[in-house]
Amino acid sequence: MHKGNKDKEAAVGPVVGAGWQKFATFLTHAGRQQPDKRGSFVNMPVERGSTVVFPTVEDMGAQGGHAYEHQLVYGAMGNPVQHRLEQVIAALEGGSHTQVVNSGLAACTVALLAFLKGGDHLLLPDSVYGPTRRFALGTLARFGVETSFYPPRADEATLRAHIRPNTAVIFAESPGSHTFEVQDIPMIARLAHGAGARVLLDNTWGIGAFQPFTSGVDVSIQALTKYPSGHADVILGSITVQRQEHWQALRRTAIELGACGAPDDCWLTLRGLKTMAVRLSQQARSAYELALWLESRPEVAHVRHPALPGCPGHEIWKRDFTDASGLFGVELDVGITQEAMIAMLDGLHLFSIGASWGGYESLVLPTSGGLTRHHKDGLPKGAAFRIQVGLENVADLKADLTRGLDGLKR
Ligand SMILES: *Cc1c(COP(=O)(O)O)cnc(C)c1O
């Protein structure tokens, strides 16, 4: 191997991908069955059910009082696989309790409903996941919650100016899943707590690489739909907290809303988690390699990948995250039209066009043209798209993108 290659590998190796390995042992063992003398399967069984039956009325009454402790009461309040998954996610994120719900979006909405009431003010980052934004401006507005938007990379003074006396929740999502702004979560938490507000974080991109509770986050949300289930066949979400008072508020709301996770989806997610460290190491490494290479292409103006030294927010990422995942943004030269980019994306062979991410397969999605922003400065100047890097051989992915970029009409 000649020297140039070796240097490049040295740059890719230790920077991105290795951090996920620290979860490998935990994830391989978490949530397994304990063997007994008669033998047992490694994986727990799926138990499907609505009714939970008891020998006596008294037994049923005794169990009903434990709805907050995740015991079996009724199917809508949880099932054994859901409860096992909740223990694993809580441990992964360093929380005390997790509530699993039927989608990542439901995780955002249930968490917001648990910590807001009529008359409160909610601060959303302008980069927030679109459906979370719509929920705030739709349902929450109907119930008397005011929402305003802060620039995701606001400095302390700017954020302070957005806080109102009735601000009850500052929501964060870092990095944004279309525009990849890394947020200064410890600073946001300090200001929020000083103002008596709580911090809710959509931690889907960071999974275990951003430890929410050491940074002052009160509630951490994940779309388990993404890397944890990992195979593009599950919709599921989680909400994790660390303090008992937050758990009481969250659990009460989840029970009132009938929020839970279907046993089969929870089981598939538990299975997905077993291989998450190895999948993510590979996907993160490939994504970083593609991001570095794309930066050198003349058609590309910016690559939005927090692990790249030139990316805005890189210093915060380096301070707060142990690794990166495999989703990043590409902004093309301003001379390239939206139509030309779309023709290029349509012509790729190995990248499907699709909205989700975190599965085994590579995807692309346009991120220019349709984004809603209050503060316009966050929008890409040229045609832009995001890449979810799958488990394909990275050389094949690079060849496919090379063909696409070479054919771009300027
Ligand atoms: C996908 C996603 C969600 C929603 O998850 P679903 O399970 O698809 O509802 C929420 N937040 C972020 C950042 C996401 O990428």
pLDDT in tens, 179-208: 999 999 999 999 999 999 999 999 999 998
Q: Do 164 and 192 belong to one domain? A: yes
**Does any domain span residue 35?**
no
Count of positions (residues) in the chain: 410
Q: Where residue 344 sits, what CATH number does that domain have?
A: 3.90.1150.10
**Does any domain span residue 29?**
no
Q: Which residues pair with 210 in a beta bridge?
A: 321
Q: Do 380 and 311 belong to one domain? A: yes
One-letter identity of residue 308: L
pLDDT at residue 377, rounded to an integer = 73
Residue of 106, 90, 80 lying closest to 266 (CA atoms): 80
CA of 283 to the centre of ligand 1 (A): 19
- Mutational test site, ligand 1, from 177, 180, 207, max ligand atoms within 8 Å of CB: 177
**Does any domain span residue 31?**
no
Q: Do 99 and 124 belong to one domain? A: yes
Q: Do 86 and 70 belong to one domain? A: yes
- Mutational test site, ligand 1, from 179, 183, 225, max ligand atoms within 8 Å of CB: 225
- Of 7-16, 133-142, 150-159, 171-180, the range with the lowest mean pLDDT is 7-16
What's the average model confidence in pLDDT over 137-142?
98
Q: Do 234 and 94 belong to one domain? A: yes
Q: For 104, left (φ over 0), alpha (ψ -120 to 50), or beta?
A: alpha
359 lines ligand 1 (CB under 6 A): no
> Which pLDDT band holds residue 310 (cuts at 50, 70, 90)?
confident
**Does any domain span residue 304?**
yes
CA of 341 to the centre of ligand 1 (A): 25
* Cβ neighbours around 213 below 10 Å, total: 18
Phi first, then psi, for residue 314 (nearest 5°) are -55, -40
Boundary residue ending a domain (249, 273, 297):
273
pLDDT at residue 15, rounded to an integer = 67
**Does any domain span residue 390?**
yes
CA of 175 to the centre of ligand 1 (A): 13
222 lines ligand 1 (CB under 6 A): no
What's the average model confidence in pLDDT over 86-91?
97
220 lines ligand 1 (CB under 6 A): no
- How far apart are the C-alpha atoms of 394 and 113, rounded to whole Å? 42
Q: Do 223 and 296 belong to one domain? A: no
Which residues contact residue 358 at a Cβ distance below 8 angstroms, ignoring those fewer than 6 apart?
A: 204, 223, 225, 226, 227, 228, 229, 230, 325, 327, 388
3-state secondary structure at position 180: coil
Q: Do 52 and 176 belong to one domain? A: yes
Q: Do 241 and 182 belong to one domain? A: yes
What's the average model confidence in pLDDT over 201-229?
96
CA distances for 266 relative to 7, 80, 221, 238, angstroms: 42, 9, 16, 11
The number of the ligand 1 atom at minimal distance from the alpha carbon of 236 is 7
> Which pLDDT band holds residue 410 (cuts at 50, 70, 90)?
low
Task: Calculate the average pLDDT of the chain.
Answer: 93
Residue bearing the CA closest to ligand 1, atom 4: 104
pLDDT at residue 1, rounded to an integer = 34
Q: Do 290 and 220 belong to one domain? A: no
pLDDT of 132 strictly over 60: yes
Element (H, E) at 268: helix 263-274
What's the average model confidence in pLDDT over 4-25?
66
What's the average model confidence in pLDDT over 24-48?
93
Over 303-340, what HEC string results? EECCCCCCCCCHHHHHHHECCCCCEEEEEECCCCCHHH
pLDDT at residue 299, rounded to an integer = 97
- How far apart are the C-alpha atoms of 344 and 383, rounded to whole Å? 11
CA of 329 to the centre of ligand 1 (A): 17
Residue of 54, 2, 10 lying closest to 292 (CA atoms): 10
358 lines ligand 1 (CB under 6 A): no
Boundary residue ending a domain (255, 273, 291):
273
**Are the C-beta atoms of 243 and 96 separated by less than 8 Å?**
yes
**Does any domain span residue 261?**
yes
235 lines ligand 1 (CB under 6 A): yes
Structurally, the chain folds into a number of domains equal to 2
204 lines ligand 1 (CB under 6 A): yes
232 lines ligand 1 (CB under 6 A): no
CA of 223 to the centre of ligand 1 (A): 5
pLDDT at residue 61, rounded to an integer = 86
Residue of 370, 389, 384, 368 lying closest to 325 (CA atoms): 389
How much of the chain exceeds pLDDT 70, in percent?
Answer: 96
> Which pLDDT band holds residue 3 (cuts at 50, 70, 90)?
very low
What's the average model confidence in pLDDT over 214-234?
98
Q: Where residue 238 sits, what CATH number does that domain have?
A: 3.40.640.10
Task: Give pLDDT tens digits for 340-376.
Answer: 999 999 999 999 999 999 999 999 999 987 777 888 7
Residue bearing the CA closest to ligand 1, atom 3: 104
**Does any domain span residue 347?**
yes
Q: Do 156 and 289 belong to one domain? A: no
Q: Do 295 and 240 belong to one domain? A: no
**Are the C-beta atoms of 222 and 228 separated by less than 8 Å?**
yes
pLDDT at residue 234, rounded to an integer = 98
pLDDT at residue 287, rounded to an integer = 97
CA of 110 to the centre of ligand 1 (A): 13
Domain carrying residue 241: 46-273
What is the distance, to the nearest Å, from the Cα of residue 97 to the centroid of all Cα atoms in its chain?
Answer: 18
Q: Do 322 and 237 belong to one domain? A: no
Residue bearing the CA closest to ligand 1, atom 6: 104
Q: Which of 23 and 373 is assigned the larger pLDDT?
A: 23
265 lines ligand 1 (CB under 6 A): no
pLDDT at residue 306, rounded to an integer = 96
- How far apart are the C-alpha atoms of 18 and 209, rounded to whole Å? 11
The number of the ligand 1 atom at minimal distance from the alpha carbon of 108 is 10
**Does any domain span residue 167?**
yes
pLDDT of 14 strictly over 70: no
105 lines ligand 1 (CB under 6 A): yes
The number of the ligand 1 atom at minimal distance from the alpha carbon of 106 is 9
For residue 23 the two structure tokens come to 């979860």
pLDDT at residue 6, rounded to an integer = 43
Boundary residue ending a domain (273, 303, 322):
273
CA of 49 to the centre of ligand 1 (A): 27
- How far apart are the C-alpha atoms of 207 and 76, rounded to whole Å? 26
